[in-house]
Amino acid sequence: MNLIFKNATIIDKNSPFNNKAADIVIEGGIIKQIGTNIAPIDGFDVIELDNLHISQGWFDSSVSLGEPGYEDRETLANGLDVAARNGFTDVAQQPTGDPIAEKQADIAFLVNRAAHTATALHPIGALTKGSEGKDMAELFDMKNAGAVAFGDYNKSLSDANILKIALQYVQDFDGLVIAYSQDDKIKGKGVVHEGEVSTRLGLKGIPTLAEELQIARNLYLLEYTGGKLHIPTISTARSVQLIREAKAKGLNVTCSVAVHHLIFTDDVLTDFDSRYKVSPPLRPDTERKALIEGVLDGTIDIITSDHNPLDIEHKKLEFDLAKDGTIGFESAFGALNTILPLEVIVEKFTAGKAIFGLENTAIAEGVQASFTLFNPKGDWTFAKSDILSKSKNSAFLGAALKGRAYGIYNRGKFILNK
């Protein structure tokens, strides 16, 4: 498919066309020309979209697609198509299937299933067998099969020695360890943030200390062992400060925040709506503002949708019994575009590739085309009809959004969200 994208504003700080409108010619999957007023070429389709913007392809560092084992929640084929239509050229798949991705064959299955999709899937291998936190999984074998990192999704390691050994072991092959940080003993039976809202609603609370104490421990381990540590979906002001201080000391630590923690506070819980039950829990506005500050000053490296499809049987329950998680592909860009500068959103959607050892393809002549198409203008309200995922458990239903992704060009495929 040979294409000419007309009058596209390029958002790429490394490009001489940054913040400028240009035409982009794609031939055989390669960017052949970037310029202005490029004439039509025989055999090339012309793509013209309202207020078209193009950036390097977006990367989502935390995605939980159902397959294998939970295809009723989401399949790889549909989930990756939804990702493509909402601007993501690359996603990192959490080891949340059944069986859990803990062996070479499990990673190979995921890689092979997604070999021909427009959005590239990059598996995260389980850090421990069964994600049970007892014995380390087959990390090196999984790395050879295509795993980009190792972690147990939304599960903390109570055994500090396993994390210590993992951080030491992966240095032999430049591996990345992911350490979800929440002390289970302090969390107890908590389901929401511990504070005024939890008291008023009569729900058991999770103090910020549960996250911060675990992060402090994990950073001490990193300082002792060396290696690379990624701390996902942080949610408190003190967590931001701890990571900021660790980076200043020269530790190789990165972190992410979920879109919903930048948008919502625990005030939305007044109706006991389980769509807002996530892990870690939504926090007060003081914590939300500190997270935004961490994004703006560079302490927080990645913004993730933390896309987690769940079936109605596990989500539409009493708040205490419902599973944690929300889908996020369809709303991620539009939600962030209401609170952050466009350049910051693009940076946080693309910087994660380097952290996970992936190539970040420039928008330049002579390179393989891989980019996201979007329109940053236009206010709209997110509705159920906007959900393309099989599961509908979105915390953003009814939310005011701004701008939409048009789709992607990646792996020689052009996917347009109509």
| Residue whose structure tokens are 């205490």 | 320
**Is the CB of residue 122 less than 8 Å from the CB of residue 148?**
yes
Pairing of strands 413-416, 400-410: antiparallel
Q: How is 176-235 classified by DSSP, letter by letter?
A: EEE-----HHHHTT--EESSHHHHHHTPPEE-HHHHHHHHHHHHHHHHHH-SEEEE-S--
306 counts as catalytic: yes
CA separation for the pair 235, 183 (Å, rounded): 14
Helix (H) or strand (E) holding 3: strand 3-11
> From residue 206, how far is each of 68, 237, 345 by CA, in Å?
31, 15, 29
Preceding amide of 284 cis, omega within 30 = no
CA separation for the pair 150, 374 (Å, rounded): 31
> From residue 133, how far is each of 68, 158, 186, 234 by CA, in Å?
21, 7, 17, 20
CB atoms inside a 10 Å sphere around CB 358: 17
Residue from 12, 183, 301, 306 carrying the catalytic annotation = 306
Burial class for 218, CB neighbours closer than 10 Å (0-12, 13-18, 19+):
buried
**Is the CB of residue 221 less than 8 Å from the CB of residue 162?**
no
Residue 346 C-beta-side C-alpha neighbours within 13 Å: 23
| Nearest alpha-carbon partner for 261 in 211, 196, 201 | 211
The catalytic residues are 306
